[in-house]
Amino acid sequence: MYEDLKKRIVEVLVYLESKGLNYGRSGNISVRASGEHIVITPSGLVKSKLKPEDLVIVDYNGEIVEGFNKPSSELPLHLAIYRAYEYFNAIIHAHSIYTGILSVMREPLPPILEEMTIYLGGDIRVADYAPFGTRELAENSVEALRNRKAVILANHGVVACGIDLEDALEVLELVERAAQIYVFSRLTGRVTTLPIDVVEHQKKIFLERIKLRKEQEVSE
């Protein structure tokens, strides 16, 4: 099932590796394939070398519907996000460098660029630490994602969410680019964030877009 979607996920995995946004066996991707199924990457395999048939289809209880591999160990995280935020239909969890630096520092990414507030919802929070694959990590991430499209996982990586896979990929690239700018700015000794009134105004634009998306999904 969902052959075209599986092929696109594999393409994105190769792209992430080529751009230094993920590496090796780390990271995972999932996409809502329908109201009943989620396509997700398998656990323990080199992501850039996956084939479409390596991907796993699960239901919303996490039970395998199709596939011979074990689903990602972060399946609880993906399921929790989908349950909490119905407007997200794709999730990319990556181990990119500059968001990785912030995850180790356990420091949020402040709103330094206007596109961050318009497209991401504002600053990117750091979810409280919990071991990978745990229910606690899933719960912490869901909380830190409130009114945002991305979250940094303490000592771990980043999670980017979108209305579809292409949107989630755009979110991931924007967060990593902003993190890189922030880290280098910190090295210069000076970081200037956006004015508070600008941030609040652009947050309203972001939330209105999410509201419209919710209404569209209800009507579809």
Token pair for residue 95? 């181990």
| Whether 58 contacts 74, CB under 8 Å | no
* Cα–chain center distance at 81: 10
Give CA–CA dist 49/14, Å, rounded.
7
pLDDT at position 214 is: 57
Condensed to tens digits (0 to 9), the pLDDT of residues 112-123 reads 999 999 999 999
Q: Is 74 a catalytic residue?
A: yes
Burial of 74: CB neighbours in 10 Å, binned 0-12, 13-18, 19+:
buried
| Whether 141 contacts 153, CB under 8 Å | yes
- Considering only CA atoms, which of 49, 46, 37 is closest in space to residue 10? 49
| Whether 181 contacts 112, CB under 8 Å | yes
pLDDT at position 217 is: 54
Query: What is 172-195 written as a DSSP string?
Result: HHHHHHHHHHHHHHHHHT---PPP
* Cα–chain center distance at 200: 23
Per-residue pLDDT of the chain (220 residues; tens, 9 = 90+): 799 999 999 999 999 999 999 999 999 999 999 888 999 999 999 999 999 999 999 999 999 999 999 999 999 999 999 999 999 999 999 999 999 999 999 999 999 999 999 999 999 999 999 999 999 999 999 999 999 999 999 999 999 999 999 999 999 999 999 999 999 999 998 999 988 999 898 888 888 877 666 555 544 4
Q: Provide the total of helices (H) and of strands (E) in the chain, helices listed first.
A: 7, 8
> Domains in the chain, start-ordered, CATH in brackets?
3-219 (3.40.225.10)
Give CA–CA dist 77/151, Å, rounded.
12
* Cα–chain center distance at 170: 10
- Other C-beta atoms closer than 10 Å to the C-beta of 101 total 16
- Considering only CA atoms, which of 68, 3, 70 is closest in space to residue 31? 3
Of 74, 170, 173, 208, the active-site residue reads 74
pLDDT at position 220 is: 47
Give CA–CA dist 157/150, Å, rounded.
11
Q: ∠ CA 74-78-80 to the nearest 5 degrees?
A: 115
Distances (CA, A) of 113 to 164, 179, 181, 213: 23, 10, 9, 24
